[in-house]
């Protein structure tokens, strides 16, 4: 631990974190380890932000895991002093070990209680999703909110990398806000991270970012930082802006952001959510088609027995296609350009 090897110990000897532990660093930061892969920090002079950074909810999405591992290391060794309470979550440790997205079930469909529905907490992804939710809830509610204390700002960035290449390499999914306004400041922060494409959700989901947004009013995003590569094979220069901004976010009381200019961003809203309902579900574009490739109205995008799915508008683009999902799960999203205020 003195060398900051929290993730390595979590992966190799998770039993060492079987019960929660707490200790202080020499700079006064209190460290709370709730379980393997779950570590929170409370600096002696904590600012008004409560920040959650999660990674590895998909085990093979390594670049964000490497970024968070390094940030945790730097905090533990005293190299980086935090300005705000920060919780780091390394999501799916067993999936990391086998270099797969998940072991039994896609964890990013198991939040907002979905882990306990149906057959219940029957696999490690379901139990872990619940444990991550509990950790987030405990972290956000640890400080009593009193009328004379300044507003606390809750933030959660769930960091991912996409399976396939993308025309817009980095993009973020903004969870459905149930009519509340989108935060221009938050989108400006995404822009400073190099994330210039924002996808606005139009409905509740069982993703991690929707959970913290909906249940705790956190400024929350699923952030896709590029394409999946194995550990050690990431060109970390491609992630330099994101890492720099995340470092500033947690270590500076206030950060200076460029003014939000909507024209600098590609903003999309979800148009169609296409689920696989039959064995013969097929996509009608190549396996290597990048995310955000757009089509003319009427183009056949996918089909299965009893259904044909076409682009319904010119410029409708595909995101997250995956014909191999389990029956009943989402196989494709389509999006169309929009503006923030629409």
Query: Which residues bind to Zn ion, rule: CB under 5 A?
Result: 58, 61, 160
Q: Is the dihedral of CA 326, 327, 329, 334 positive or negative?
A: positive
Angle at the Cα of 49 from the Cα atoms of 237 and 78, rounded to 5 degrees: 60
**Residue 58 assigned ligand-binding role:** yes
The nearer residue to Zn ion, 131 or 209, going by C-beta atoms, is 209
Catalytic residue among 169, 224, 304, 316: 224
The nearer residue to Zn ion, 61 or 169, going by C-beta atoms, is 61
* Least CB distance to Zn ion at residue 162 (A): 7
Residue 181: C-alpha distances to residues 174, 283, 297, 341 (Å): 11, 35, 30, 8
The nearer residue to Zn ion, 43 or 91, going by C-beta atoms, is 91
* Least CB distance to Zn ion at residue 124 (A): 17
* Least CB distance to Zn ion at residue 61 (A): 5
3 state DSSP class of 254: coil
Largest separation between any pair of C-alpha atoms in the chain? 65
**Residue 214 assigned ligand-binding role:** no
Q: Which residue is nearest to Zn ion (CB)?
A: 160
How far apart are the C-alpha atoms of 258 and 114, rounded to whole Å?
Answer: 38
* Least CB distance to Zn ion at residue 328 (A): 20
The nearer residue to Zn ion, 224 or 304, going by C-beta atoms, is 224
Residue 178: half-sphere exposure toward Cβ, Cα within 13 Å: 8
How far apart are the C-alpha atoms of 180 and 191, rounded to whole Å?
Answer: 21
216 CB contacts (<8 Å, ≥6 apart)? 136, 137, 140, 154, 156
Nearest to 63 by CA among 241, 325, 321: 241
How far apart are the C-alpha atoms of 338 and 142, rounded to whole Å?
Answer: 38
The nearer residue to Zn ion, 83 or 136, going by C-beta atoms, is 136
How far apart are the C-alpha atoms of 129 and 116, rounded to whole Å?
Answer: 9
* Least CB distance to Zn ion at residue 173 (A): 10
**Catalytic: 224?**
yes
**Residue 160 assigned ligand-binding role:** yes
Q: Please enumerate, by residue number, every residue annotated as part of a binding site.
A: 58, 61, 160
By annotation, the residues acting in catalysis are 224
């Amino acid at each position: 631990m003195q060398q900051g090897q929290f993730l390595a110990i979590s992966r190799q000897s998770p039993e060492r974190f079987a019960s929660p532990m707490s200790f202080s660093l020499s700079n006064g930061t209190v460290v709370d380890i709730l379980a393997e892969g779950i570590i929170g920090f409370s600096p002696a002079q904590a600012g008004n932000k409560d920040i959650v950074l999660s990674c590895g909810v998909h085990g093979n999405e390594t670049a964000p895991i490497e970024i968070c591992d390094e940030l945790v290391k730097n905090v533990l060794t005293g190299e980086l002093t935090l300005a705000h309470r920060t919780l780091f979550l390394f999501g799916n440790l067993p999936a990391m070990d086998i270099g797969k997205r998940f072991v039994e079930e896609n964890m990013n469909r198991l939040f907002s209680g979905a882990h306990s529905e149906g057959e219940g907490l029957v696999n490690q992804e379901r139990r872990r999703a619940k444990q991550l939710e509990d950790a987030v809830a405990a972290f956000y509610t640890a400080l009593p909110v009193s009328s004379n204390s300044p507003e606390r700002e809750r933030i959660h960035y769930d960091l991912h990398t996409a399976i396939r290449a993308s025309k817009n390499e980095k993009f973020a999914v903004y969870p459905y806000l149930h009519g509340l306004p989108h935060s221009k400041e938050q989108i400006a922060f995404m822009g400073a991270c190099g994330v210039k494409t924002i996808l606005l959700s139009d409905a509740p989901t069982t993703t991690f970012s929707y959970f913290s947004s909906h249940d705790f009013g956190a400024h929350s995003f699923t952030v896709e930082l590029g394409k999946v590569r194995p550990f050690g094979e990431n060109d970390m220069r491609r992630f330099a802006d994101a890492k720099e901004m995340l470092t500033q976010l947690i270590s500076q009381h206030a950060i200076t952001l460029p003014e939000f200019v909507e024209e600098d961003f590609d903003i999309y809203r979800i148009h169609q959510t296409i689920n696989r309902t039959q064995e013969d579900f097929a996509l009608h574009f190549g396996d290597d088609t990048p995310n955000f490739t757009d089509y003319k109205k009427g183009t056949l995008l996918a089909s299965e027995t009893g259904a044909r799915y076409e682009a319904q508008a010119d410029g409708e683009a595909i995101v997250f296609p995956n014909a191999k999902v389990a029956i009943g799960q989402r196989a494709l999203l389509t999006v169309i350009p929009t503006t923030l205020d629409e």
